[in-house]
Amino acid sequence: MGKIRRGNYVFVSWIGDHGNHVHVYRDGRLVVKWNLDHHCEEPGSKPASRKIKDLIEELRAEGKLVYEIKKSND
């Protein structure tokens, strides 16, 4: 898990069993949950604004949000 402040938003990234995602907060309220594997909002989440999408892409390009592909332990 990582926490990054950028553009009046707080991005909290999670890497877990159910996929990589980032929670985006503004003024202490959850704005969107973004799926890093599929590049879209998590089911049930509000749509992300263009600004949030651009900030997520900027953070990913800087290596601060990692898109990891999980491998099964077969």
Give the pLDDT confidence score for residue 64 in this predicted structure.
87
Residue 7 inside a domain? The answer is: yes
The single residue listed with the structure tokens 């926490």 is 3
Domain that residue 41 falls in: 2-61
How many domains are there within the chain? 1
Report the distance separating Cα 29 and Cα 58, nearest Å. Answer: 22
**CB within 8 Å of 50: residues ≥ 6 apart:** none
Residue 10 inside a domain? The answer is: yes
Structure tokens at 62: 């800087």
Beta bridge partners of 2: 13
pLDDT tens per residue across all 74 residues of the chain: 578 999 999 999 876 656 688 999 999 999 999 988 889 999 988 899 999 999 999 998 998 886 544 444 54
Residue 72 inside a domain? The answer is: no
Q: Reduced to 3 DSSP states, what percent helix, strand and coil does the chain have, rounded to the nearest 5?
A: 15, 40, 45
Of how many residues is the chain composed? 74
